[in-house]
Amino acid sequence: MRLAITGYGVASPFGVGRASWEAALAKGEAARELAFRGRSEALEGELGEHARTAEVWGFDPNQYLGDKGHRAFDRLTKLLIAAAKPALADSGLKRDGAFVEGGPDASSIGICSATAYGSLDAITELNRVAELEDPRYINPQRFPNTVINAAAGYVSIWEDLRAPNVTVVDGNCSALDAVLAAATHLAHRRAKAFLVGGGEIVSEPLYLALRRLGVLADGRNDGFGVEMGEGACYFAMERVEDAKARGARVLAEVIGYGTAFEPPRSEALLVHASADAVARAVREALAEAKVDPGEVDVVASSAGGLVEVDGAEAAGLREVLGGVPQVPVKRLTGETFGVSGAFALAHVLAWFGGAPVAPSPANGVTPPAKVGTAVITSVGFYGNASAIVVRAA
Amino acid sequence: MRRVFVTGVGVVSPVGFGRRDFWEALVAGRSGAAPIENFDASGLDRQVACEVKGFRPRDFLTAAEARRAGRCSAMAIAAARMAVEDAKLKTEHLAGPRTAVVLGTTMGEANVLGQLEAAWIHRGEQSVEPAALPRYGTTLLPIHLARALGATGMVQTMPAACAAGNYAIGYAADQIRAGRADVAVAGASEVIEKLQFAGFARLGAITPDVCRPFDQQRRGLMVGEGAGILILESEESVVRRGATVLAEIGGYGLACDAHHITRPHPEGEGSTTAMRMAIASSGLRPEDVDFVNAHGTGTSANDKIESLVLAEIFGARQPILTSNKSILGHCMGAASAIEAVSCVLSLQTGIVPPTIHYEHPDPECAVNLVANEARSAKIDVVVNNSAAFGGYDAVLTLAREGVLPPPRDPWAVQAEGATA
């Protein structure tokens, strides 16, 4: 696998666009204060008062989408478009909103978009109408939003991207699995370039579900629990030779992918994380990348405040990579579930660009001054894990 | 590039479980439409659907599996167990990291979510049972299946709405070709849930009487549900265990309309691109295609545009065509997976099931339809067509063993202009 990353766009708690992302991460651990900055805007009433969330603060869709044509879109769709637009510009695939002559065009740029819970708020919105009023009153214009792949479909319409559009849902592993989807379709020449990434939002149903499960960090300061984050992030990914042929600047290459699943030992269990799956996914990714464990400078890990999950990941990483620094990037930008792998990749790209490696590694190992090769891991809540290997250009 | 074969099929459908009952009903043209039983539809404008009736998870799942899995996953496990039996796969063939599980769906465990949300909306947060929460999650479908089969390789959900089956089967074949798996359990599963049924009704998409694809008096689709699973294997795996081949996977094509979230492109642009890609990447030409298993939803727009696409691709020599949806309803995410099972059975038997309720030819749908009665034909190559919300288009080509040329280098396909 050799995928060139030629640009990216983010809609994050730090703002919209690559510049806001890099400016925040240049502050190191202090970026956290920008991300978790105040009362939730997504959660209303009592919920928002106590929630500790990292949201795309003050997001005004009109600023990025104009003031027409997006009334039926849900928040996820708007965030995805807000990330897609700068990704297409940053990679030079579009200039001033138009495809660049001689480069990939509408027919050859596709989307591989990840999410874990994408359309949950849209489903809740319509369920409220159906349950409290009458199912016959649900808004037909909002109904398509309940379909998980609708958000990526709207991005394709908005940006006129007609090559394959793929939505990937694999819980926390979704975004890294979307990278494999892009690699697969590029290898088969089904497209020349993909927007790869996805989005996740802070929503009332998801927040309540996590609160009911007792896994939120709200009100605690012992490092336990999930701090919900949100945002969207897309990378332009191409075959290396195609990127070079069009004179694109290559930021980094994805050179290996691995994935694995291990069931829990008890038939009664459903939620669990597996150190063996993590180890296997990382080994597979390193083997494909032809990278030895000793060549890995840093791991952008999936640790998100759940003891069992984080422990399984740390053990799996230790088994394969020994004392390589494990950097829990979610501490800066929150748990973004399906898109968390893409946010981790955006962290890695910032490190490649010279931003300090932050936050402090969970295993207490000091990261090298210069990072050139990184592993990114994602650990699912049901025993699955995925990993990619990224190398600076 | 490795060859990929189908060695087993399994199905849970509105007209029967397992290949024998399913095929018998499909060939006989027995519709699965009936008044809705699984939820109270009395307040809705439409009250008929193609539900899976008489499905008891414990007939196919262990007690522990049945406790963990929602209806959508349970149907997928049931179909997978039938497919595994059909393929005569033993545990040792399936267990381990070289088996991938790739499943499509539109909304996954929609009824688990519906029950959770109904409790929350009517009775508050405290009424939601925490233990039930993790049972919702679209990602769970392949996880449950992998656990049931002992597979520990890739677990992947592809939510591509009504094209999800083709997405999943095609992608699973890709992984075998790339050497990332030797065996793949691929297909899709879907349940009818009240909200989504009401949504289709609000869109005016559901027929008030019967589903009559390509008929001039067609009035909409019939919502269906079910699961279709294919066992895919590399050539090496087939040879190693002496498996019987049911069909070979050719290529598949994907494209996006980028036009409208629910309506097809007016010239069928994405669908045409995907179908060309599916045929060319199989090393075939349009004239090699004997039979097209249509998307054929029975809506005015779909059938008209699909006919345009077929005219564009095949010209005057139209392959025979049928829509399983006249019988099964539109099983949404599972539709193209169940229809892929039907394609395999057509390749095996040389029989094309009928499109029922067809009475009035439509000049805008000038297709070579197998109307009302099943037909015997030479079927070496079949194209399974699908399209979906989001402008998703996915087309899969399947063939009888020995018909397809060796898999092609994607560069060669690209040089012919069929891909990017």
Question: Would you say A330 and A227 are in contact if contact means Cβ atoms under 8 Å apart?
Answer: yes
B195-253 tens-digit pLDDT: 999 999 999 999 999 999 999 999 999 999 999 999 999 999 999 999 999 999 999 99
Which residues in B lie closer than 8 A to residue A43 (C-beta atoms)?
none
For residue A165, the distance in angstroms to the closest alpha carbon of chain B comes to: 6
Q: What confidence category does residue A392 fall into, taking pLDDT thresholds of 50, 70 and 90? A: very high
State whether A178 and A270 are in the same domain: no
Q: Which of the 8 DSSP states describes residue B56? A: -
Give the residue ranges of DSSP H helices in B150-193: 164-177
CB contact B256 to A (< 8 Å): yes
What's the mean pLDDT when you consider all of chain B?
95
State whether A236 and A370 are in the same domain: no
Cα end-to-end span (Å), chain B: 18
State whether A265 and A178 are in the same domain: no
| Half-sphere exposure at residue B142, Cβ-oriented, CA atoms within 13 angstroms | 34
State whether A271 and A248 are in the same domain: no
The beta-carbon neighbor of B255 closest among A163, A259, A277 is A163
A43-69 tens-digit pLDDT: 999 989 989 999 999 999 999 999 999
Is A5 exposed, middle or buried, given 0-12, 13-18 or 19+ CB atoms closer than 10 A?
A: buried
State the residue range of the domain holding A182.
3-252
Q: Is the pLDDT of residue A344 over 90?
A: yes
B339-392 tens-digit pLDDT: 999 999 999 999 999 999 999 999 999 999 999 999 999 999 999 999 999 999
**Which amino acid would we find at residue B175?**
Q
Q: What confidence category does residue A183 fall into, taking pLDDT thresholds of 50, 70 and 90? A: very high
Q: What confidence category does residue B328 fall into, taking pLDDT thresholds of 50, 70 and 90? A: very high
What domains lie within chain B, and their CATH numbers? 4-241 (3.40.47.10), 250-415 (3.40.47.10)
Q: Is the pLDDT of residue B419 over 80?
A: no
Q: Structurally, how many domains does chain A consist of?
A: 2
Question: Would you say A305 and A210 are in contact if contact means Cβ atoms under 8 Å apart?
Answer: no
State whether A175 and A210 are in the same domain: yes
For residue B49, the model assigns a pLDDT of 98
State whether A293 and A213 are in the same domain: no
Domain-ending residue, one of A200, A225, A252:
A252
ipTM of the complex: 0.97
Q: What confidence category does residue A352 fall into, taking pLDDT thresholds of 50, 70 and 90? A: very high
| pTM for the model | 0.98
For residue B45, the model assigns a pLDDT of 92
For residue A299, the model assigns a pLDDT of 98
Q: Which of the 8 DSSP states describes residue A213? A: H
Question: Would you say B247 and B6 are in contact if contact means Cβ atoms under 8 Å apart?
Answer: yes
State whether A80 and A177 are in the same domain: yes
Q: Is the pLDDT of residue A221 over 90?
A: no
Task: For residue B270, report the phi and psi dihedrals to the nearest 5 degrees.
Answer: -65, -40
State whether A67 and A89 are in the same domain: yes
Which residues is B185 bridged to in the sheet?
Answer: B101, B231
- What is the mean pLDDT of the segment spanning B62-77? 96
Question: Would you say B15 and B26 are in contact if contact means Cβ atoms under 8 Å apart?
Answer: yes
CB pairs under 8 A between A and B: 234
Residue that wins the pLDDT comparison between A222 and A233: A233
For residue A279, the distance in angstroms to the closest alpha carbon of chain B comes to: 13
For residue B417, the model assigns a pLDDT of 73
Q: Is the pLDDT of residue B160 over 80?
A: yes
Whole-angstrom Cα distance, residue B174 to residue B161?
Answer: 20
Q: Note which residues in 316-355 of chain B have CB less than 8 A from chain A.
A: none
CATH of the domain at A217: 3.40.47.10
For the four alpha carbons of A391, A392, B1 and B7, in that order, the dihedral sign comes to: positive
Distances (CA, A) of A276 to A145, A150, A256, B376, B408: 37, 35, 19, 52, 36
For residue B408, the model assigns a pLDDT of 76
For residue B414, the model assigns a pLDDT of 72
Question: Would you say A324 and A293 are in contact if contact means Cβ atoms under 8 Å apart?
Answer: yes
Q: Is the pLDDT of residue A41 over 90?
A: yes
State whether A186 and A307 are in the same domain: no
CB contact B202 to A (< 8 Å): yes
Whole-angstrom Cα distance, residue A181 to residue A167?
Answer: 9
CB contact B90 to A (< 8 Å): no
For residue B155, the model assigns a pLDDT of 98
- What is the mean pLDDT of the segment spanning B294-311? 98
B239-273 tens-digit pLDDT: 999 999 999 999 999 999 999 999 999 999 999 99
- What is the mean pLDDT of the segment spanning B286-293? 98
Question: Would you say B302 and B296 are in contact if contact means Cβ atoms under 8 Å apart?
Answer: yes
For residue B16, the model assigns a pLDDT of 97
Domain-ending residue, one of A210, A230, A252:
A252
Whole-angstrom Cα distance, residue A107 to residue B393?
Answer: 13
Q: What confidence category does residue A119 fall into, taking pLDDT thresholds of 50, 70 and 90? A: confident
CB contact B410 to A (< 8 Å): yes
pLDDT above 70 as % of chain B? 100
Task: For residue B46, report the phi and psi dihedrals to the nearest 5 degrees.
Answer: -130, 145
Q: Is the pLDDT of residue A254 over 90?
A: yes
Q: What confidence category does residue B152 fall into, taking pLDDT thresholds of 50, 70 and 90? A: very high
Domain-ending residue, one of A252, A284, A317:
A252
What's the mean pLDDT when you consider all of chain A?
96
Whole-angstrom Cα distance, residue B223 to residue B329?
Answer: 5
CB contact B175 to A (< 8 Å): yes
The beta-carbon neighbor of B64 closest among A188, A261, A267 is A267
Q: What confidence category does residue B184 fall into, taking pLDDT thresholds of 50, 70 and 90? A: very high
Cβ-Cβ contacts under 8 Å for A143 (sequence gap 6 or more): A126, B199, B202, B203
For residue A373, the model assigns a pLDDT of 98
State whether A191 and A295 are in the same domain: no
Cross-chain residue pair A150–B261, CB shorter than 8 Å = yes
State whether A220 and A261 are in the same domain: no
Tokens of A104: 């990939």
The beta-carbon neighbor of B159 closest among A149, A190, A211 is A149
| Half-sphere exposure at residue A363, Cβ-oriented, CA atoms within 13 angstroms | 21
The 3-state secondary structure of A239-306, one letter per residue: EHHHHHHCCCCCCEEEEEEEEEECCCCCCCCCCECCHHHHHHHHHHHHHHHCCCHHHCCEEECCCCCC
pLDDT above 70 as % of chain A? 100
For residue B416, the model assigns a pLDDT of 72
State whether A329 and A375 are in the same domain: yes
A69-100 tens-digit pLDDT: 999 999 999 999 999 999 999 999 999 999 99
The beta-carbon neighbor of B203 closest among A143, A159, A277 is A143
CB contact B97 to A (< 8 Å): yes
Which residues is A375 bridged to in the sheet?
Answer: A299, A389
- What is the mean pLDDT of the segment spanning B120-139? 90
